[in-house]
Amino acid sequence: MTDEEDRTEGHGRRKSGVQQSSVQVLDRSLALLGRIAERDGSTLSGLAAQTGMAPSTVHRLLTSLAEHRMVTSDAETGVWTVGVKAFEIGNAFRRGRKLEIVARPFLKALSEETGETANIGIEDEGEIVFVAQVESHAPIRAFFRPGRRGPIHASGIGKAILSTWADAAVARRMSGRLTVFTEKTHGGTSSLLSDLQSIRSRGYAIDDEEHTAGMRCIAAPVYEEHGETLAGLSVSGPTVRLCDARIEELGQLVRSSADALTAALGGRRPEDF
């Protein structure tokens, strides 16, 4: 190997090392931002404990994120929260989807008519992300802040969306991921698939205390212009109010609202093609 070749190879190794280091910094920074968003804020020591990174590393990354207004800190409490730039980026996503804006009047009408909390959520990487909500005024009510993630198999919205998937896709995606939360949670694929078949037949899903004891959720899918599932619309509340006698009435109302939202978004149900 000539001196020139040796220098070229050495330069390539250094360049590769710099690229790997940059990717690692980006990965760690995004991980910190995600932790802060999930917990509505966290201290430096808390973030270090959660991520396993050294406090000095966490501080350096947070400082860099702060320079870009992705995070900000409270001088008195030492708590780091999501910054205005991250908020702007999140809003850009919401503007692009336009889902929350179009869905708002439907959520409001559904909540007023049922007296319960109305929600809309989307699927992301096998979980449900709650996008928007109109909260019930009842003293005992369901609450899911926008951005919160939930298990797709133990959620009314999640099962409404899963019911639009092929059984093979559900079995493949859910294998090994059916965490049990209550005695009513589907712990096996066969049980979940049987429930999904019932959902397809009646047109709406029921989360019958499958994630939280004493709480029920009734949901239906919302579709986009190509007939693909875009989201799920639901009402949630305590079982004493979402009692057996109201399930059919509420189910039809939720499905009707989901179909109306689908139309407002320019979407169509798959069977309409």
Domains annotated for the chain, with CATH where assigned, are 3-88 (1.10.10.10), 98-272 (3.30.450.40)
Give the residue-averaged pLDDT of 208-218: 94
Give the residue-averaged pLDDT of 83-94: 77
Using pLDDT thresholds of 50, 70 and 90, give the confidence band for residue 8: very low
As a whole number, the mean pLDDT across the chain is 87
Q: For residue 177, what pLDDT is reported?
A: 85
Using pLDDT thresholds of 50, 70 and 90, give the confidence band for residue 245: very high
DSSP string, 52-117: ---HHHHHHHHHHHHHTTSEEE-TTT-EEEE-HHHHHHHHHHHHHH-HHHHHHHHHHHHHHHHSSE
Q: For residue 4, what pLDDT is reported?
A: 47
- Tens of pLDDT, residue by residue over 178-202, are 999 999 999 999 999 999 999 999 9
129, with CB counted inside 10 A (0-12, 13-18, 19+), is: middle
Using pLDDT thresholds of 50, 70 and 90, give the confidence band for residue 272: confident
* Percentage, residues of the chain above pLDDT 70: 88
**Which SS3 state, helix, strand or coil, does residue 224 take?**
coil
Q: For residue 38, what pLDDT is reported?
A: 81
Q: Pick the more confident residue, 18 or 43.
A: 43
Using pLDDT thresholds of 50, 70 and 90, give the confidence band for residue 12: low
pLDDT at 255 over 70: yes
pLDDT at 85 over 50: yes
Half-sphere exposure of 91 (CA within 13 A, CB side): 6
* Residues with Cβ within 8 Å of residue 160, at least 6 apart in sequence: 199, 204, 205, 219, 220, 221, 232, 234
- Tens of pLDDT, residue by residue over 89-136, are 876 665 555 888 899 999 999 999 999 999 999 998 889 998 899 988
